[in-house]
Chains A and B, each alone.
Chain A
Amino acid sequence: EPEVTQTPSHQVTQMGQEVILRCVPISNHLYFYWYRQILGQKVEFLVSFYNNEISEKSEIFDDQFSVERPDGSNFTLKIRSTKLEDSAMYFCASSENNLYGYTFGSGTRLTVV
């Protein structure tokens, strides 16, 4: 079964550093998403991406965050200057259309120290 692949599985970074989280969505999917889950809390929507542009973003997705689809396969989330409160599990997801649920990746655990 096709999978959404996220790398790395765990990243530790120093506060103030830039970090890029990488995702390879399912190849025929058109819609891409990033979600965040702070430990012990619910999953929160960050941003959706379609047709090479941001389609929707939440209030969490401020100027520190950006997304990019640099080639035909990767979808990245960049955090410019990480804060301690950015420590969380980050999930990438993709869907073929916007009518159904998504396929989520296994997540990247980001730890900011």
Chain B
Amino acid sequence: AQTVTQSQPEMSVQEAETVTLSCTYDTSESDYYLFWYKQPPSRQMILVIRQEAYKQQNATENRFSVNFQKAAKSFSLKISDSQLGDAAMYFCAYRTYSGGGADGLTFGKGTHLIIQP
């Protein structure tokens, strides 16, 4: 079974600074997907960014980018120019690439990101 580990329960960053959230995972599969989800106080789960394991290029979405190290099984999220609205729980998630059935996501325990004004 796959596991996802987020070793930082809480991170704090000054507004406009850059912060990196860590995520490692364990799998024996070669094809899979990795995700970062944001959960603000409203508790809705919002997809931030997605990475396909077969792609070497790191995914980027505006101020959000990832550092995907497949050999190290590491998938960190970098948030540039942090804004107050970025304050939330951030969850790293893994999904197998089955090509068939509707596979569930395996989530890490989350990192609580605090933005200091």
Instruction: Answer whether A104 and B107 are a contact pair too, CB < 8 Å, given A43-B91, A98-B102.
Output: no
B104–A101 touching, CB < 8 Å:
no
In order of increasing CB-CB distance, the 5 nearest A-B pairs are: A45-B104, A48-B102, A104-B45, A55-B102, A31-B102
**CB closest chain-B residue, reference A51:** B102
B16 to chain A, nearest CB (A): 28
Interface residues on A, range: 20 to 34
Which of B42, B100, B107 is within 8 Å of A44, CB to CB? B107
Q: Give residues in A with beta carbon < 8 Å to B.
A: 31-33, 35, 37, 41-50, 55-56, 58, 89, 91, 93, 95, 98-107, 109
**CB closest chain-A residue, reference B110:** A42
Assembled-state Cα–Cα distance A104/B42 (Å):
13
Which of A42, A48, A103 is within 8 Å of B104, CB to CB? A48
A56–B104 touching, CB < 8 Å:
yes
Q: Is the interface of A mostly helix, strand, loop or mixed?
A: strand
Pick 17 A–B contacts, CB within 8 A, sort by A.
A31-B102, A32-B102, A41-B109, A43-B93, A50-B101, A55-B102, A56-B103, A91-B45, A98-B98, A98-B99, A98-B102, A100-B50, A101-B33, A101-B37, A101-B95, A103-B47, A106-B43
Assembled-state Cα–Cα distance A106/B99 (Å):
28
**CB closest chain-A residue, reference B46:** A104
B108–A42 touching, CB < 8 Å:
yes
**CB closest chain-A residue, reference B106:** A45
B56 contacts the other chain (CB 8 A): no
Assembled-state Cα–Cα distance A45/B42 (Å):
20
Assembled-state Cα–Cα distance A42/B103 (Å):
18
B3 to chain A, nearest CB (A): 11
A32 to chain B, nearest CB (A): 8
In the complex, besides A58-B104, A101-B105, A106-B42, 8 extra interface pairs with C-beta distance below 8 angstroms are A33-B102, A45-B105, A48-B103, A50-B101, A89-B43, A101-B95, A103-B47, A106-B43
